[in-house]
């Protein structure tokens, strides 16, 4: 099935209760150092802690080739690899 030109994403929201003042402050400081929002910082920390790489997963959706795709790519490369020896004299 061909990929849709439109990306539909569903995002979940979580509420975390019982965050200590010390943890909240460390998150604010880290976010400020990184130039990010606290939310972005927390998401990055959670993804790393759980072994998720959201960027790599997004790229994987678009980097999967079929056998036909690979064949077409190989044919295009073969055409580009031809050398016109008269031009290189």
**How many whole angstroms separate alpha carbon 9 and alpha carbon 23?**
30
pLDDT of 31:
96
| Residue-level pLDDT at 6 | 58
Q: Which of 4, 1, 7, 5 is nearest to 58 (CA)?
A: 7
CA angle 17, 29, 41 (to 5 degrees): 60
pTM of the model: 0.51
Q: Could you tell me the two tokens for 13?
A: 């929201």
- 58 pLDDT above the threshold of 90: no
Distance between CA atoms of 66 and 83, rounded to whole angstroms? 29
């Amino acid at each position: 099935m061909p990929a849709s030109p439109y990306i539909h994403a569903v995002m979940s929201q979580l509420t975390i209760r019982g965050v200590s003042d010390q943890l909240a402050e460390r998150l604010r400081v880290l976010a400020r150092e990184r130039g990010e929002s606290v939310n972005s910082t927390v998401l990055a920390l959670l993804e790393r802690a759980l072994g998720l790489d959201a960027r790599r997963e997004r790229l994987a959706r678009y980097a999967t080739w079929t056998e036909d795709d690979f064949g077409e790519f190989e044919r295009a490369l073969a055409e580009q690899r031809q050398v016109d020896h008269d031009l290189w004299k």
